[in-house]
Amino acid sequence: MKQDQIAIDVSHVVKNFRIYKDKSHTFKDRILFHKRNAYTLNPVLNDISFQVKKGEAVGLIGHNGCGKSTTLKLLNKILYPDSGIITMHGKISSLIELGAGFHPDMTGRENIYINATIFGLKKHEIDERLDDIIRFSELEEFIDNPVRTYSSGMYMRLAFSIAINVNAEILLIDEILAVGDANFQKKCFNKLEEIKKGGATIVIVSHSMSQIQSICDRAIWLDKGKIVEDGKAADVCGDYTFAMNQAAIAREQMENAQTGKEVVSNPTLTHPPIYEGRQCCRHAERMGSMRLRFHNIRLLDGKMEESQVFSYGDRMNLSFILAAEKDLGEDENYSFKINIFSNDDGNLCSSFDSKEITGAYFKGIRSQCRFTIEHINLAEGDYFISLQMNLKPGNGNDKEGEMTDSIWHFVDFTIKPDSKLSTGVTAMKNQWYISEGNNNE
């Protein structure tokens, strides 16, 4: 990467925190009880290196305590590394501790000037942006009230509005996209998309894989102070999610073994693996005879690449292998049912039934299958997919047939927000046409 293309350069950074057993707080205590100052070093970052090019959006992911927020604070010079070098090329705005520097007895308007000054704006620059900041925060009627009278949501909205209106070249964000109500969150998301398209460099820390995949081109997975994986956001988030799922299952098995509890409720532990890949949800449940089953299920975008983030109008593909213990007879019929549910309330959004497919189309004991939705018209939000397969003889005696494989809540996916679409279960493109009225009509 050429030097003039680099916005952030992190080279061999090490950061340790001291954990005191019983820290002395006064000079007298330090002299008389010097043993209280004994401490151990907690290595938070251990020789990490990465570069972020200008205009790139990068997500930092990992479990709590892995060093994500510490990395962001080092980039913002809230903390300094014990060793290593961090070089930042560009004006920085941080959404790490929103509202830091607010004075509770001053009005919202006065705090805009104070906080924007901290970000490096001059008074005339703040004057130019003042109306935009107030309008974005939606606090017009409260802007001249002391901020101590604000609710926590109002406080955070004002702080967020200031931080994203300083025209920074580098934007550092730490778990703050849950600001305000649903409509305000959508507006924040759209603003970040606008900032990204404007060429700003973004580094974001979040536990929401859908947020990371929606905003970021690239993701860095941290664990125990080391970089585990650095690459395309969808791939890294998928690997991280799968690893966390596996760890959770292993932890559940260990807890059950320690308590002597018999595992009977989680089909993922007793049936064949739902999916030997990245996309399967931890809380997926499976049941059925498994005589005919789904294998190697993958959710793909229009380019046939694994993805769990889509936009309105995209093509979605569900690819899987149909596996059986033995060849199907030509008189046997099977059918698939694929359901899409809302993650928010669990309501069914759409259902697809293949009807009956004759066993003559089943080749050997494994067949490659693909289900395609040509045009997704779901509204913004989070969804999950469930699959079911039935098998029955061709004599028609059994209406439903044998349920051979049913996977509930296999994979989550997200539909990105779009301000031009309607809200609800389905999305519809819309446009308003308003013309001047004729008083004589």
Whole-number pLDDT of residue 7: 93
- Give phi and psi for 295, each to the nearest 5: -145, 145
Q: Give which of 310, 295, 273 is closest to 367, Cα–Cα.
A: 295
Two structure tokens written together for 110: 């006065």
Whole-number pLDDT of residue 278: 59
Query: Between 277 and 388, whose confidence is greater?
Result: 388
Instruction: Give the angle subtended at the CA of 64 by the CAs of 166 and 341, to the nearest 5°.
Output: 85
Query: Between 133 and 265, whose confidence is greater?
Result: 133
Query: Between 391 and 130, whose confidence is greater?
Result: 130
Whole-number pLDDT of residue 246: 67
Whole-number pLDDT of residue 411: 86
Taking each helix axis from N to C end, the angle separating 152-163 and 123-137, rounded to the nearest 10 degrees, works out to 130
Average pLDDT for 3-30: 80
Q: pLDDT tens digit string along 382-433?
A: 899 999 888 876 555 555 578 888 888 888 898 887 767 666 667 676 666 6
Two structure tokens written together for 337: 């049912």
Average pLDDT for 369-392: 88
CA Rg, the chain, in Å?
Answer: 27
Residue type, 401: G
Average pLDDT for 122-146: 92
User: Is the confidence at residue 25, as pLDDT, over 70?
Assistant: no
- Domains of the chain with bracketed CATH: 3-239 (3.40.50.300), 272-415 (2.70.50.60)
Q: pLDDT tens digit string along 326-368?
A: 777 667 788 888 999 988 777 888 888 887 666 555 555 777 8
Whole-number pLDDT of residue 249: 64
Query: Confidence band (pLDDT; 50, 70, 90) for 135?
Result: very high
- In angstroms, the CA 188 to CA 185 distance is 5
Whole-number pLDDT of residue 290: 78
Q: pLDDT tens digit string along 184-238?
A: 777 787 888 888 888 899 999 988 777 787 788 899 999 989 999 998 887 787 7
273 in helix, strand or coil? Answer: coil
User: Is the confidence at residue 275, as pLDDT, over 50?
Assistant: no
Whole-number pLDDT of residue 202: 92
Whole-number pLDDT of residue 430: 63
Note the helical H segments in 300-370: none
Average pLDDT for 374-386: 88
Cα dist from 298 to 261, 281, 321, whole Å: 33, 12, 10
* Range name among 68-82, 100-114, 206-220, 254-268 with the lowest pLDDT average: 254-268
Q: What is the CB-side half-sphere exposure of residue 228 using CA atoms within 13 A?
A: 19
Residue type, 177: L
Two structure tokens written together for 95: 């959404």
Contacts of 72 (CB under 8 A, 6+ apart): 60, 94, 96, 172, 174, 203, 205
Two structure tokens written together for 3: 């030097």
Query: Between 275 and 5, whose confidence is greater?
Result: 5
Cα dist from 404 to 84, 289, 290, 356, whole Å: 57, 5, 5, 14
Two structure tokens written together for 96: 């790490």
Per-range mean pLDDT, top range of 27-31, 64-68, 327-331: 64-68
Q: pLDDT tens digit string along 287-313?
A: 887 778 888 888 999 999 888 889 888
Average pLDDT for 99-120: 85
Per-range mean pLDDT, top range of 14-23, 60-69, 166-175: 60-69
Query: Confidence band (pLDDT; 50, 70, 90) for 117?
Result: confident
Indicate the average pLDDT of the chain.
Answer: 80
Dihedral angle computed from the Cα positions of residues 95, 100, 104 and 110, in that order, rounded to the nearest 10 degrees: -70
User: Is the confidence at residue 108, as pLDDT, over 90?
Assistant: yes
User: Is the confidence at residue 274, as pLDDT, over 50?
Assistant: no
User: Is the confidence at residue 271, as pLDDT, over 60?
Assistant: no
Q: Count the helix, strand and coil residues of the chain and give each as a percent rounded to the nearest 5.
A: 30, 35, 40
pTM above 0.85, yes or no: no
Query: Confidence band (pLDDT; 50, 70, 90) for 267?
Result: very low
